[in-house]
Amino acid sequence: MKKTILIFFIFKFVNICLSQTKIIEFDYKIEYIYQFKYDSNDSNSYYQQKMELLTNKQESYFLTKYNFIFDSILFNMKDHEFMSNQDRSYISKYSTGPLNFYALVKQKDKNIFYYSQLIHFQDYVVKYKGPPNYKLVDKDTIIMGYKCKQATCYLGGRNYFLWYTPEIPISDGPYKFSGLPGLVLKVFDTKKEHFFFFQNFEKRKIAIKHIVDGQIETTMKNFLKIYTDIPDFNNPSAGFTLKPKDPAVAKQIIEKAKKNNNFIELKPDE
């Protein structure tokens, strides 16, 4: 596992360094826990991953804590400087989940989203329009001291319940769940396989490097096929420009891919 993480780390580091640098500044940092069922055939395959929502009036980034720390360290590095052993050790503490390099960029002013994820050593990005359509429900609750209202929506083959609070007037939330009259604090699908839980809200100026640069652009339909396909590193036509030299690492990735069958979106929206 450590060897796999190291290869992923090196690949992402090189990719970011070679891509064009654009600095984005945010006004708020909001923390969530994303809990999801990784393997639809295994009731014990739930993971928890720490997530960060960085937002301003024009756009927001929703990314893993791992990705946030990784990019923050890169942002503060000087040109031609190598990452220290201390920084690499700190990053590795957050590399336990399967979604280390995962980010969703929401350009609110243009109503355009970009979803980016590293799969089998390839970095993909999907472009699509806006948040889902919501139905507001006349229900109230309290979450972590905030008065919340309920909404429902359909997204990518799943039906969701959401709780949002008008007490935090930020029309945003985890993943694609933005556009409601207040910050989204809790989301879960009706099968209870994907959950987002609000943890903390902080008004804080943050600057990081632009995430969506240099990836392979594809459609959500093709992305879902790539996500669920078993990688064939021995097939030249499969398109893997970077592959593990160690057969044990390749086997590990293939075995992991076989269980990787419960992406948050089951199918692309029409």
Residues 143 and 125 in one domain: no
Per the model's pLDDT, the better-predicted residue between 189 and 64 turns out to be: 189
Residues 122 and 221 in one domain: yes
Residues 119 and 31 in one domain: yes
**Per-residue pLDDT at 192 exceeds 60:** yes
Residues 76 and 144 in one domain: no
Residues 86 and 72 in one domain: yes
The pTM (predicted TM-score) of the whole model is 0.78
In a domain, 41, yes or no: yes
Residues 11 and 110 in one domain: yes
Residues 81 and 65 in one domain: yes
pLDDT category of residue 268 using cuts at 50, 70 and 90? confident
**Per-residue pLDDT at 90 exceeds 50:** no
Per-residue pLDDT tens over the stretch 216-262? 888 888 888 877 776 665 655 555 555 666 677 767 767 776 777 78
Residues 115 and 38 in one domain: yes
Domain of residue 38, residue span: 2-130+204-259
Residues 119 and 138 in one domain: no
The percentage of residues in the chain with a pLDDT greater than 90, rounded to a whole number, is: 36
In a domain, 265, yes or no: no
In a domain, 198, yes or no: no
Alpha-carbon torsion, ordered 53, 56, 60, 61, to 10 deg? -50
In a domain, 266, yes or no: no
In a domain, 233, yes or no: yes
- Specify the pLDDT at position 143: 98
CA 99 from chain centre, in angstroms, equals 7
DSSP states of the chain: -HHHHHHHHHHHHHHHHHSPP-EEEEEEEEEEEEEEES-TT-TT-EEEEEEEEEE-SSEEEEEEHHHHHHHHHHHHSPTTPPPPHHHHHHHHTT--SS-SSEEEEEETTTTEEEEEEEETTEEEEEEEESPPPEEEEEEEEEETTEEEEEEEEEETTEEEEEEEETTS-----STT---SSSEEEEEEETTS-EEEEEEEEEEEEEEEE-S-SSPEEE-HHHHHHHHHSPP-TT-GGG--SS--SSHHHHHHHHHHHHH----S-SS---
Domain finish residue from 172, 192, 212: 192
Residues 219 and 246 in one domain: yes
In a domain, 269, yes or no: no
Per-residue pLDDT tens over the stretch 91-147? 455 455 555 567 888 988 888 888 888 776 677 888 888 899 999 999 999 999 999
Contact 222, 239 (CB under 8 A): no
In a domain, 267, yes or no: no
**Per-residue pLDDT at 170 exceeds 50:** yes
Per the model's pLDDT, the better-predicted residue between 243 and 194 turns out to be: 194
Q: In whole angstroms, give the CA distance from residue 40 to residue 77.
A: 40
In a domain, 44, yes or no: yes
Residues 183 and 238 in one domain: no
